[in-house]
């Protein structure tokens, strides 16, 4: 059997960002509307700093207004909630993202719950989770939204009746991913750390989305020939081959093995990762349009 098609998430995300840039141009020209995204970072977590820098850069690249608030690590919850209040009522800001994780004195649920659901471009607010679960239009978490776009790019628009396995039940990836696939009329199984026979669940699946955080968990003999495999995992593992001892990035899927049986597979890096920020930008356009009662421009 030929090796799987390697899904180029980087190229797909570039295409999506250029479509977002066209939408922004159109909104400026026809409605004098510049979508604005505010990103809030508390503390100096190095990985978070990298994410925030790249979000800011790509927001500016598509022509949107970008605002970054960097707060000291000892910021109180009250101070952060006050900042969010201000962003909620700022008419030039249409999307608010608070970078997680937050320092331990701050309750992330209180913060996510404070963001106006109409500006919740991460889609983590309970109102948006409820809308997704009940099929109402709302803002959808970026990573699963990006995964669904890649799946449809491979399998076409009609996923109806397909067996889908989501491994992982987090609020930010696993659960919304399962809801999105259910809304596409897939038969969805959600596996997690207590699942008894994960291999058997995987062997039945036409679509596997792995969002676990366990390096190379999904093995070649778990995968049905021809299945579409989406690897959300981002794990840093020791790399004895690197002369400087730099860690290697790998996913939750044994890529080298699984690509020999799957129909299509995302690599790590270069698969799901780039889609997350592209979907964040798309969500900001969606939010800006909804807040101003205008249709999202078709480009
Ligand atoms: P999480 O830790 O919140 O959830 C992990 C889930 O995996 C849990 O539901 C748990 O029950 C399940 N699990 C753990 N061990 C398991 C096992 N052995 N078998 C089956 N299920 C098991 O993680 P998360 O936030 O959902 O992230 C998952 C992975 O995706 C991480 O590697 C994370 O870095 C990555 N991630 C990537 C992006 C991206 O943009 N590419 C975005 C978010 C998360």
How many independent structural domains does the chain possess? 2
Tell me if 2 is assigned to some domain.
no
**Active site members:** 55, 99, 122
Do 146 and 266 fall into the same domain? yes
Tell me if 252 is assigned to some domain.
yes
Do 208 and 167 fall into the same domain? yes
Q: Which of 67, 84, 117 marks a domain boundary?
A: 117
Do 148 and 113 fall into the same domain? no
Do 211 and 253 fall into the same domain? yes
Tell me if 287 is assigned to some domain.
no
Do 162 and 263 fall into the same domain? yes
Do 36 and 73 fall into the same domain? yes
Tell me if 286 is assigned to some domain.
no
Tell me if 76 is assigned to some domain.
yes
Residue 41: CATH number of its domain: 3.40.50.10860
Do 151 and 268 fall into the same domain? yes
Do 149 and 234 fall into the same domain? yes
Tell me if 297 is assigned to some domain.
no
Tell me if 206 is assigned to some domain.
yes
**Ligand 1 pocket residue status of 172, Cβ below 6 Å:** yes
Tell me if 128 is assigned to some domain.
no
Nearest CA to ligand 1 atom 17: 193
Structure tokens at 49: 């700093």
**Ligand 1 pocket residue status of 169, Cβ below 6 Å:** yes
**Ligand 1 pocket residue status of 170, Cβ below 6 Å:** yes
**Distance of CA 193 from the midpoint of ligand 1 (Å):** 10
Residue 225: CATH number of its domain: 3.40.50.720
Do 206 and 267 fall into the same domain? yes
Do 160 and 102 fall into the same domain? no
Do 195 and 100 fall into the same domain? no
Predicted TM-score of the model (pTM): 0.97
Which domain, by its residues, includes 36?
31-117
Do 204 and 252 fall into the same domain? yes
**Distance of CA 173 from the midpoint of ligand 1 (Å):** 8
Residue by residue, pLDDT tens for the chain (299 residues) are: 789 999 999 999 999 999 999 999 999 999 999 999 999 999 999 999 999 999 999 999 999 999 999 999 999 999 999 999 999 999 999 999 999 999 999 999 999 999 999 999 999 999 999 999 999 999 999 999 999 999 999 999 999 999 999 999 999 999 999 999 999 999 999 999 999 999 999 999 999 999 999 999 999 999 999 999 999 999 999 999 899 889 999 999 999 999 999 999 999 999 999 999 999 999 999 999 999 999 999 88
**Distance of CA 191 from the midpoint of ligand 1 (Å):** 11
Kindly report the number of other CB atoms within 10 A of residue 73's CB atom: 12
């Amino acid at each position: 059997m030929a090796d799987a098609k390697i899904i180029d998430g980087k190229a797909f995300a570039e295409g999506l960002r250029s479509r977002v840039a066209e939408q922004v141009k159109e909104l400026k020209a026809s409605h004098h509307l510049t979508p604005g995204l505010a990103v809030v970072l508390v503390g100096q977590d190095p990985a978070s700093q990298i994410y925030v820098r790249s979000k800011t850069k790509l927001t500016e690249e598509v022509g949107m207004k970008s605002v970054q608030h960097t707060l000291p690590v000892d910021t109180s919850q009250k101070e952060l909630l006050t900042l969010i209040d201000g962003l909620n009522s700022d008419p030039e800001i249409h999307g608010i993202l608070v970078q997680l994780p937050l320092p331990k004195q701050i309750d992330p649920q209180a913060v996510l719950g404070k963001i106006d659901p109409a500006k919740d471009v991460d889609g983590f607010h309970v109102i948006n989770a409820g809308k997704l679960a009940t099929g109402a239009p709302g803002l959808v978490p970026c990573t699963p939204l990006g995964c669904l776009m890649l799946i449809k790019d491979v399998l076409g628009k009609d996923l109806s009746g397909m067996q889908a396995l989501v491994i992982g039940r987090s609020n930010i990836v696993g659960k919304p991913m399962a809801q999105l696939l259910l809304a596409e009329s897939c038969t969805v199984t959600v596996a997690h750390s207590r699942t008894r026979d994960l291999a058997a669940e995987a062997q039945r699946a036409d679509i596997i989305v792995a969002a676990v955080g366990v390096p190379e968990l999904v093995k070649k003999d778990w995968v049905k020939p021809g299945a579409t495999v989406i690897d959300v995992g981002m794990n840093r593992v020791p790399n004895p081959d690197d002369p400087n001892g730099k860690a290697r990035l790998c996913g939750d899927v044994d890529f080298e093995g699984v690509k020999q049986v799957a129909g299509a597979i995302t690599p790590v890096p270069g698969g799901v990762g780039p889609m997350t920020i592209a979907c964040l930008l798309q969500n900001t356009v969606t939010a800006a349009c909804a807040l101003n009662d205008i249709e999202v421009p078709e480009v």
